[in-house]
Amino acid sequence: MMRQYELVERVRRYNPNTDEALLDRAYVYAMRAHGTQKRASGDPYFSHPLEVAAILTDLKLDDATIVAALLHDTIEDTDATRDEIDKIFGPQIGALVEGLTKIKKLDLVSKQAKQAENLRKLLLAIADDVRVLLVKFADRLHNMRTLKWVPEEKRSRVAQETLDIYAPLAGRMGMHDLREELEDLSFRQLSAEAYNSILSRLQALKENNGELVAAIERELSDAVAQKGIAAVVTGREKRPYSIWRKMELKSVAFEQLSDIYGFRILVDSVEDCYTALGVVHTKWPLVPGRFKDYVSTPKQNDYRSIHTTVVGPGRQRVELQIRTRQMHEIAEYGIAAHALYKDNGGSDPLTRDSSAYAWLRRTIELLAEGSSPEEFLEHTKLELFHDQVFCFTPKGRLIILPRRATPIDFAYAVHTGVGDRAVGAKINGKISPLVSELQNGDEVEIITASGQTPPAAWESIVVTGKARAAIRRATRAAVRAQYAGLGKKIVERAIVRAGKVFSEDKLAASVGRLARASLEDVYAAVGRGEMRSDDVVKAVHPEWTGPRPEERAALKGEGWFELEQGQSLKFKIPGIESDPDPQTAIPIRGINRELPVRFAPNGGAVPGDRIVGILSPGEGITIYPIQSPALQDFEEEPERWLDVRWDVEEDDPQRFPVQIVVVATNEPGSLAQVAQVIGERDGNIENLRMSSRSADFTRMVIDIGVYDLRHLNGIIADLRARPVVSSVERVNG
C-alpha cells in the first residue's frame, strides 16, 4: 500500500506548489475513517481510495481532486458527515465528496431502474463540477482492475455497465487511454475466451514479425528527420478489445486485419504536422479513404490529430497519427489535460473553454427541454455513445445496438423469433429496406410473416453476434428441412417402385435399424446422399431383395421433379406430352439459394437438352445432359438417378453454362473472329483456354452462357461458317 510521503511525492512531480499539509490531513483522515474495513480481496479498504488518488496523479489533477479521491467513500461507508468534511477540508472538497456519494447511490447496476433515467441522474450529478466525473472514472478503473475479487454473479453486470456507460463517456471526454483500459478489462470479463485468443495471436504475431515495429519506427524517424523536423515516432499494437470490435464490425478474421500496429509521430508545431504528412505521403503511397484531418477540424471533445494510412516499409499497411505534443496530451488525458497549474497554481483545475466540457454543459442544459428520460436521449442524440445507437420499439422499449446496425439486428435484439420471421421494417413510420443503417433515436417496427426463413445473405449484413448466430442456426435448419423433403420423396418413390405401400408408421418403426434417432434424420440422410434408398426399403421390408435388372432400367425412365436454384431456376424436360405419374414424380421446392444444385463440370446443360440429376453424397445434385458419357459412371447406382425437367420462364431469360471446342487456324485475328461471332449472337464468354495442336491450328476450349439449345446451335453454325474455323464441337462431359 502506498505510503503517505509517496502520494505527496507523486503530486509534487507535476505540481511543485502542492499543499502538502492538506494531502497529509486527508490521508490520515481517510485511513482512520475506514479503520478496519476490508475489501473483498482481504486488503484494507483504505487501499482502494489510495489507489484511486494515485490514478488521478497520473492525470496530473489538482490537490482538491486528489483529496476528494481519498475521501470519496467516507460519507457513504463510514461515520463521516458532510459537515465534518466541510469543517476540516473546506466546502469545495465537501461538495466534491458529496457529489461522488450521490453517484455511488446511483450506480447503474439496479435491474429495476431504467438506463435512461440513471444516465440522466449521473450527468446531473456532475453538472456543477466535472472533477466529480474524473474521480468516478478513477474509482471505476480501480474496481475493474480488482474485479476478480468481486462475487461471480456481480462481475459480468459491473463489466457490462462499464462497457456500456463509463468507457464511452471516458471517450466522449477525450480520455482515450482510460477508455481503452476500461474496455479491455470489461472485454476480458465478458468474453474471456475471445480475449485470451486475441492475446495469444498477438504474441505469435510479435514473435513472427520480430523487429518489424522497431524497423518501421526507424524508417519513419529518418524520413522526417531529413526534413529537419524534431519528431518522436512510437509504434504500438492495438488492444484486444479494439481488435475484436473491428473483427466484429467488418466480419473478418484476425489474419485478415492489416492494421494491428499503429504509429504516432509527435512534433513541435502545427506546421510540422503538415510537413511530416507531406514527407510520409511523398515516400509511401496513401491508402485511399483512410485520411482524416482533425487538426483543421477538431472533434467535439477537443481531439486534434492527422490520421492517415500508407503502404509503408516492407509493403506493410501502416496507420499513422501525426500531432503536436500538446495535442497528444489532450488526446491521452482529454478534459483532464486542461489543468492550468502554471497559470493559477491549480486553483482552477479545469478550464471552462474545453469543448468536451462545453458538450457536457450543453447536454445538461438539454435536460430541461425533455419531460422524460427517453426524451432526453432523443434530444441529445446520444452523442455520448459513438459506438452505439439507441433505438426504440413502437411501444417505447429501448434497444441498444452497435453502430451500422440494421433493422435485422434490431429484430433479433427484440426476439429471435421476430428476426427469423422478419420480412420488412418501418423506420419512424416509413417503409424502409431491411439493410438500412439505423440512427440514434429511430423508432423501428419489424414486419413479420409466418413461414419466413432468414436468407443466408443476411449473415454478411448484420453486425451483432446474436443476429449472426441466429441466422446461421435458421439456415442450417432450413437446409436440413430441405434435404429431409428431398429424402422423403426419394424414399417414397423407392418403396412404390419396389411394389410396396409407403407408410410412415412402418418407416418410423424401422428407424432404429437404420441407426438414426428420428424419421426426419432418415429422410435428411437420404436427401444428402449419406444413406441409400434401397437400404431404407430393406429396413422396412426385409423380404425385399432389391430391384430386378428391368427395374434398374426403369429407374432411368422419364419422371420429373422441379428444383429451385439461384433466382428460382426450375428444370423440366420440354416435349413431354403427358403429365408425369404422381406416384413416381419428385416435386422439390426449397429455399432458392440453399438447395445445392450445379451443372456438370465439363459441358454443362441448356434448356432443350434432355437432362438427368445425379445425387452425390454430401454435395447435392448435379445436372447432366442425357447424352453425357459421364453418366456411365453411375450405371450401377440407379438410386442416385433423379428425373428432372426444365421449367424456364420465357419472360425471364437466363443463361446456362455450356462448353464448346473450336479448332481455328493459327493466324492473327482468329480469336477476335470467334469472340465476335459469340458476342453478335448474344452469348457470354465465361472462360477460355487455348492450346496449339500444331503450327497451323489452335484449339480453344470455351465456356459460354447461352439461353437454350437453339441459341447454342445458332452460335455453332455461325462459327462453322467462318473461314478461320476448322471445326466446332460441343463438349458433353
- Please provide the DSSP assignment of 459-521 as one string: GGT--SHHHHHHHHHHHHHHHHHHHHHHHHHHHHHHHHHTT----HHHHHHTTGGGT-SSHHH
pLDDT given for residue 563 in this prediction: 38
In a domain, 365, yes or no: no
Could you tell me if 185 and 69 lie in one domain?
yes
Give the domain CATH number at 206.
Answer: 3.30.460.10
Annotated catalytic residue, options 76, 98, 164, 383 = 76
Q: Which residue has the higher pLDDT, 301 or 45?
A: 45
In a domain, 361, yes or no: no
Position 371 pLDDT exceeds 60: no
3-state helix, strand, coil in the chain (%, to 5): 50, 15, 35
Predicted confidence (pLDDT) per residue in 301-345, tens digit = 678 899 998 887 767 778 899 999 988 888 877 766 654 333 334
Could you tell me if 15 and 153 lie in one domain?
yes
Position 22 pLDDT exceeds 90: yes
Question: Under 8 Å CB-to-CB from 371, ≥6 apart: which residues?
Answer: none
In a domain, 367, yes or no: no
pLDDT given for residue 348 in this prediction: 42
Neighbouring C-beta atoms of residue 386, cutoff 10 Å: 12
Predicted confidence (pLDDT) per residue in 178-188, tens digit = 989 999 999 99
pLDDT confidence tier of residue 425, bands split at 50, 70 and 90:
very high
Look up residue 188 and give its three cell numbers. 476480458
Could you tell me if 77 and 158 lie in one domain?
yes
Give the domain CATH number at 445.
Answer: 3.10.20.30
Alpha carbons within 13 A on the beta-carbon side of 302: 27
pLDDT given for residue 139 in this prediction: 93
Look up residue 51 and give its three cell numbers. 489507489
Could you say which of 650, 677, 706 is where a domain stops?
650
Could you tell me if 148 and 24 lie in one domain?
yes
What distance, in Å, lies between the first and last C-alpha atoms of the chain? 80
Give the domain CATH number at 62.
Answer: 1.10.3210.10
Position 266 pLDDT exceeds 90: yes
Could you tell me if 595 and 473 lie in one domain?
no
Residue type, 292: K
Q: For cell 471446342, what's the residue?
A: 661
569 phi, psi to nearest 5 deg: -70, 135
pLDDT given for residue 355 in this prediction: 58
Question: Under 8 Å CB-to-CB from 203, ≥6 apart: which residues?
Answer: none
Handedness of CA 412, 413, 416, 418 (dihedral sign): negative
Position 614 pLDDT exceeds 70: yes
pLDDT given for residue 66 in this prediction: 94
In a domain, 152, yes or no: yes
% of the chain with per-residue pLDDT over 70: 79
Cα 249–Cα 253–Cα 254 angle in degrees, nearest 5: 100
Position 26 pLDDT exceeds 90: yes
Please indicate whether residue 76 is annotated as part of the active site. yes
pLDDT given for residue 619 in this prediction: 66
Residue type, 216: I
Neighbouring C-beta atoms of residue 416, cutoff 10 Å: 17
Could you tell me if 325 and 413 lie in one domain?
no
Question: Under 8 Å CB-to-CB from 146, ≥6 apart: which residues?
Answer: 39, 40, 41, 48
Q: Which residue has the higher pLDDT, 430 or 614?
A: 430
pLDDT confidence tier of residue 567, bands split at 50, 70 and 90:
very low
Under 8 Å between Cβ of 83 and 109: no
Sheet holding 684-692, edge to edge: 684-692, 697-706, 656-665, 725-730
pLDDT given for residue 121 in this prediction: 53
Under 8 Å between Cβ of 100 and 122: no
Mean pLDDT of the chain, nearest integer = 78
Q: Which residue has the higher pLDDT, 699 or 133?
A: 699
Under 8 Å between Cβ of 657 and 599: yes
Look up residue 640 and give its three cell numbers. 442416385
Position 400 pLDDT exceeds 60: yes
Could you say which of 592, 618, 650 is where a domain stops?
650
When mean pLDDT is compared across 106-115, 538-547, 639-648, the lowest value belongs to 106-115
Could you tell me if 126 and 259 lie in one domain?
no
In a domain, 364, yes or no: no
In a domain, 362, yes or no: no
Note down the domain range covering 183.
4-189
Could you say which of 412, 428, 452 is where a domain stops?
452
Task: Give the mean model confidence (pLDDT) for residues 50-73.
Answer: 92
Q: Which residue has the higher pLDDT, 556 or 388?
A: 388
Please indicate whether residue 271 is annotated as part of the active site. no
Q: What is the largest CA-CA distance in the chain?
A: 109
Looking at mean pLDDT, say which of 114-123, 282-291, 294-303 comes out highest.
282-291
User: Distance between CA 528 and CA 550 in Å, rounded?
Assistant: 27
User: Distance between CA 74 and CA 94 in Å, rounded?
Assistant: 11
Could you tell me if 481 and 517 lie in one domain?
yes
Domain count of the chain? Answer: 6
Could you tell me if 418 and 467 lie in one domain?
no
Could you tell me if 203 and 333 lie in one domain?
yes
Could you tell me if 40 and 109 lie in one domain?
yes
Residue 292, burial from CB neighbour count under 10 angstroms (0-12, 13-18, 19+): middle
Annotated catalytic residue, options 77, 86, 117, 535 = 77
pLDDT confidence tier of residue 125, bands split at 50, 70 and 90:
low
Could you tell me if 521 and 603 lie in one domain?
no
Looking at mean pLDDT, say which of 176-190, 248-262, 342-356 comes out highest.
176-190
Handedness of CA 461, 464, 466, 468 (dihedral sign): positive
Under 8 Å between Cβ of 174 and 305: no
In a domain, 363, yes or no: no
Question: Under 8 Å CB-to-CB from 633, ≥6 apart: which residues?
Answer: none
pLDDT given for residue 124 in this prediction: 59
Looking at mean pLDDT, say which of 67-76, 164-173, 385-394 comes out highest.
67-76
Look up residue 26 and give its three cell numbers. 486527508
Helix, strand counts (H, E) of the chain: 29, 18
In a domain, 370, yes or no: no
pLDDT confidence tier of residue 37, bands split at 50, 70 and 90:
very high
Q: Where are the beta strands (DSSP E) in 343-451?
A: 388-392, 398-402, 422-427, 430-432, 444-448
Task: Give the mean model confidence (pLDDT) for residues 662-690.
Answer: 90
Predicted confidence (pLDDT) per residue in 214-245, tens digit = 888 888 899 899 988 999 999 888 889 888 88
